[in-house]
Amino acid sequence: MDSERIEMERLRKITSIFLILIGFTCLFSCSSQKQYRRISIDEYRSKMKAGWLGQMAGVGWGAPTEFDYNGMIIPAKDVPVWKPEMINQHYQDDIYVEMTFLKTLEEYGFDVSIRQAGIDFANSRYMLWHANKNGRQNLRSGIAPPYSGYPNYNRHADDIDYQIEADYSGLISPALPQTVIELGEKFGRLMNYGDGLYGGMFVGGMYASAFFETDIHKIIEDGLNCIPAESQYAEAIRDVIRWHKENPKDWKKTWHLIENKYNLNPNYRRYSCSGTDPSFNIDAKINGAYIVTGLLYGNGDMDSTIIISMRCGQDSDCNPSNAGGILATSLGLENLPDKFKTGIDDTTKFSYTAYNFPALINVCEKLSREAVIRSGGKIEKKSGTEYYVIPKQVPTPIPLEQCWTPVEISEDVHFTEQEMAGILYRTRKPEEFVDVWQVSGPFSKKGVKGIDLIDMQFSPENNDKFSDWKKLPVGESGLRPEEIDFDKYFGEENCAVYLRTNVWSDENQKVIFELGSDDGIKVWVNGRLVHRNNAERAHEPGQDFVNVQFEKGWNNILMKITQGVGGWACSLVITDLDHNALKDLKYKL
């Protein structure tokens, strides 16, 4: 009897141990399934590429309407007709700014310091506006990040800027929302703060989610989880979600609710750069609401999503760019309409960046591999196919901050002297620009557009005896040396103008010309062509750097500036090889 009892007790213990082992096995198995996601790198690449194409489609389609419809819905009749060439958007700030961040990550890795990120952004040469422009000016003036984006130094810190350029952060971070937040803390801080920063983290979080989610509501919720719930930005997104539930068939009703609260209510425009002016609102909150309006009411259709975000107005190319990119990422390349994936220009580099479209796709894949490994994931190969095995991340939003109550700053906000030596593009003082010029023109040819005039010769460049020159009154009539505004002086389109001056050099020496132009520019020194850039762009000082050989004595400078439509301007700073402005040069006409 005792032996039977002992045997039964032994069997009971064995059974208990067996059940415990089974329980642990099930627990481990279930836990593993919950903690990891798998996606083939081929599928990742398809979705990532689609995300970029969706961005370019949205910004290209919406560009003709940008800020033409503020505080009003764009009428259906005014929606541009899609044209195949709209897919190629190499000169849009919505796109090219991201390339600088990608290049920094490619060169220095994900652990790059925010200060190095700031130096790289300071050295960018493309045209910028609002928070981007002020942030870069701060960096070039010596204000280091994150302070370059603080409202203490940047009046545009709540603007849309990081939101429109945060797509990259999710596109290289599949299902990695915490990585998105970390990238925002590094790159979004260069120009934004508070809601302006949260907008980018929200957008990046939606992209990261879109690699695995097809439910737009879940994608939006995942984006919301990346930002402080108590922020006004999060409130705006929750409002749009609620209003969509209340008015699922009427996006215009939701638009009016957004308008009343986030455009007309001053409590939600406490740091808008334009104050409470309803006719212009580049605040991140309202434009983020328009992104979500397009995503919710677009019902998974690319055309509808882009058009609704566009028709909401205000920044009506940036918002459909974000919305189109997020949806396209979820859809993947194979489900993207043909019109958004044909006619891609694979050779042209994005403005002042290292990447054309194929190089952009390759660097994003490269960085995504690093992001997955860095987050504790791995890359597995099965039957010749590589897969990302991605650990589930639960994002931890940064603490709440608001532009209208910024933190007090007690530490030194400046770059070191050594760091400043790495910034080649400086914020120039007016006295550093060449301001002694003669002007001739404008010249034009009937039926010829401005961009086609760059190599068309007019008298100032092919006739040594040409004498129709007059002194340009720089410093008067609004002609500032840092931006000589020909549009204000001449007010014409599709033409070209010539400038000339003479500068004395005490010796033969190499110098650098820091040139800016709107639009194209050609430069001759002592009769020799030293620079040609047939760009269609807005003016920014120091867009082009040119090495020039000065001879001892007087050196003649001749510049040609072409004009299409819109702005028309130029500038020149002459520096030594270390980019120190040569301010004591002598000029004569």
The amino acid present at 380, given as its one-letter code, is E
Query: What SS3 state is found at 176?
Result: coil
Spatial separation of the C-alpha atoms in residues 104 and 116, rounded to whole Å: 8
475 pLDDT band, cuts 50/70/90, is confident
Assigned token pair, 378: 């791995």
The amino acid present at 54, given as its one-letter code, is G
pLDDT value of position 112: 99
Per-residue model confidence as pLDDT tens digits over 184-206: 999 999 999 999 999 999 999 99
Burial class, 233, CB count within 10 angstroms (exposed 0-12 / middle 13-18 / buried 19+): buried
Lowest mean pLDDT among 11-15, 42-46, 244-248: 11-15
Largest interatomic CA distance in the chain: 129
Chain centroid to CA 157: how far?
A: 15
Angle at 452 between CA 447 and CA 456, to 5 degrees: 95
Per-residue model confidence as pLDDT tens digits over 272-319: 998 888 899 999 999 999 999 999 999 999 999 999 999 999 999 999
Spatial separation of the C-alpha atoms in residues 242 and 293, rounded to whole Å: 11
pLDDT value of position 277: 87
In the predicted model, what is the mean pLDDT of residues 565-571?
92
pLDDT value of position 31: 44
Pairing of strands 495-505, 569-575: unpaired
pLDDT value of position 76: 98
- CB contact set of 202 (below 8 Å; sequence gap of 6+): 163, 223, 224, 226, 227, 233, 234, 237, 288
Assigned token pair, 198: 């949260």
- Is the link from the previous residue into 146 a cis peptide, with omega within 30 of 0? yes
Q: 131: how many CB neighbours lie within 10 A of its CB?
A: 30
Domain boundaries, the chain: 46-420, 430-588
> Are 459 and 408 spatial neighbours (Cβ–Cβ below 8 Å)?
no
Spatial separation of the C-alpha atoms in residues 483 and 268, rounded to whole Å: 35
pLDDT at 415 over 60: yes
Which helix H or strand E contains 439, and what residues bound it? strand 438-443
The amino acid present at 241, given as its one-letter code, is I
Q: Which residues pair with 499 in a beta bridge?
A: 439, 559
pLDDT value of position 584: 86
Query: What SS3 state is found at 577?
Result: coil
Angle at 211 between CA 207 and CA 158, to 5 degrees: 5
Distances (CA, A) of 173 to 58, 77, 185, 333, 570: 22, 39, 15, 18, 40
Give 3-state DSSP helix, strand, coil % of the chain, rounded to 5: 45, 15, 40
pLDDT at 114 over 60: yes
pLDDT value of position 34: 55
Spatial separation of the C-alpha atoms in residues 428 and 483, rounded to whole Å: 11
DSSP states along 34-62: HHEEEEEHHHHHHHHHHHHHHHHHHHHHH
Which contacts (CB < 8 Å, 24+ apart) does range 67-70 have? 67/280, 67/314, 67/315, 67/316, 68/316, 69/313, 69/314, 69/316, 70/278, 70/279, 70/280, 70/281, 70/313, 70/314
pLDDT above 90: percentage of residues in the chain: 86
Per-residue model confidence as pLDDT tens digits over 135-160: 999 999 999 999 999 999 999 999 99
In the predicted model, what is the mean pLDDT of residues 76-100?
95
In the predicted model, what is the mean pLDDT of residues 459-477?
90
- CB contact set of 24 (below 8 Å; sequence gap of 6+): none
178 pLDDT band, cuts 50/70/90, is very high
- CB contact set of 527 (below 8 Å; sequence gap of 6+): 556
pLDDT at 27 over 50: no
In the predicted model, what is the mean pLDDT of residues 383-398?
97
pLDDT value of position 278: 86
Per-residue model confidence as pLDDT tens digits over 397-413: 999 999 999 999 999 99
pLDDT value of position 152: 96
> Are 565 and 450 spatial neighbours (Cβ–Cβ below 8 Å)?
yes
pLDDT value of position 588: 95
Q: Which residue has the higher pLDDT, 154 or 27?
A: 154
pLDDT at 478 over 80: no
pLDDT value of position 6: 57
pLDDT above 70: percentage of residues in the chain: 94
Residue whose token pair is 């120009």: 191
Burial class, 106, CB count within 10 angstroms (exposed 0-12 / middle 13-18 / buried 19+): middle
The mean predicted confidence, pLDDT, of the chain is: 94
Q: Which residues pair with 484 in a beta bridge?
A: 570
- CB contact set of 477 (below 8 Å; sequence gap of 6+): 488, 489
pLDDT value of position 538: 87
Assigned token pair, 300: 């998974």
pLDDT value of position 17: 53
pLDDT value of position 8: 55
Per-residue model confidence as pLDDT tens digits over 426-435: 889 999 999 9
In the predicted model, what is the mean pLDDT of residues 557-569?
94
Spatial separation of the C-alpha atoms in residues 156 and 274, rounded to whole Å: 9
Q: Which residue has the higher pLDDT, 60 or 8?
A: 60
pLDDT at 14 over 60: no
Spatial separation of the C-alpha atoms in residues 368 and 376, rounded to whole Å: 13
Residue whose token pair is 């995503």: 295
Spatial separation of the C-alpha atoms in residues 208 and 202, rounded to whole Å: 10
Q: Which residue has the higher pLDDT, 383 or 7?
A: 383
CATH topology of domain 430-588: Jelly Rolls (2.60.120)
425 pLDDT band, cuts 50/70/90, is confident
Sheet containing strand 36-40, edge to edge, reads 36-40, 385-391, 378-382
In the predicted model, what is the mean pLDDT of residues 465-471?
92
Nearest residue to 561 via CA among 511, 497, 494, 488: 497
Angle at 505 between CA 500 and CA 508, to 5 degrees: 115
pLDDT at 341 over 90: yes
Query: What SS3 state is found at 385?
Result: strand
In the predicted model, what is the mean pLDDT of residues 100-106?
99
Which helix H or strand E contains 498, and what residues bound it? strand 495-505
Assigned token pair, 81: 């007709």
Please, what CATH class does the domain formed by 46-420 belong to?
Answer: mainly alpha
Spatial separation of the C-alpha atoms in residues 183 and 169, rounded to whole Å: 6
Nearest residue to 523 via CA among 557, 494, 547, 549: 557
pLDDT value of position 26: 45
pLDDT at 1 over 50: no
pLDDT at 384 over 90: yes
- CB contact set of 231 (below 8 Å; sequence gap of 6+): 194, 195, 198, 400, 402
488 pLDDT band, cuts 50/70/90, is confident
pLDDT value of position 583: 84
Q: 110: how many CB neighbours lie within 10 A of its CB?
A: 16
Spatial separation of the C-alpha atoms in residues 336 and 322, rounded to whole Å: 16
pLDDT value of position 32: 44
pLDDT value of position 24: 47
